[in-house]
Amino acid sequence: MTIERTEPAVDADERTMLEGFLDYHRSTLARKCEGLTDEQLRTASVPPSELSLMGLVRHMSEVERSWFRRVLAGEDAGPLYYSEADRDGDFHTTEADTWQEAHATWQAEMEAARRNAAGFALDDPSRGRSRFSDDPPSLRWIYTHMIEEYARHNGHADLIRERLDGATGE
């Protein structure tokens, strides 16, 4: 199955454009993982780094959960993969971790993000707080931050995928 990726419209209103770029970057990460085995998806980029494609997807599940559930909606949503004992647990994959579980969790967090964001205008303050400021961020700020977060990690994903099988490109 080929992951569909839609280019954001060049003439959209601001919200549609922000949502379009966020979805574009979400799809880009999915494309970087497409067609690989669980073993490949768990393979660390370059030792001593533990960064892997599955770890990136698990991390982005945590990031989606944090910004759209904890911060935006003020939900009490605990961590998925990390703990006090292992703050980078999202990146620490084992042979027991599967793409099926990581992908399903990521999809569920993106759906929760879309559902929560639908209840806010761009300038509405979040119901929770972020670690960056005592002031609640707006949905606009969260969208912009999420685009930056995905774009940065998609750069990592490019390099990891190229190392795994030589695939390059968007």
pLDDT at 1: 63
What distance in Å separates the CA atoms of residue 57 and residue 63, rounded to the nearest whole number? Answer: 10
**Does residue 93 contact residue 150 with C-beta atoms inside 8 Å?**
no
pLDDT at 169: 72
Placement of tokens 């750069």 in the chain? 155
pLDDT at 170: 66
Write the DSSP symbol of residue 113: H
pTM above 0.85, yes or no: yes
Catalogue all structural domains in the chain, each as residue range(s) with its CATH number.
23-81+99-165 (1.20.120.450)
pLDDT at 2: 75
Segments in the chain below pLDDT 70 = 1, 170
Helix (H/G/I), strand (E/B), else coil: 125: strand
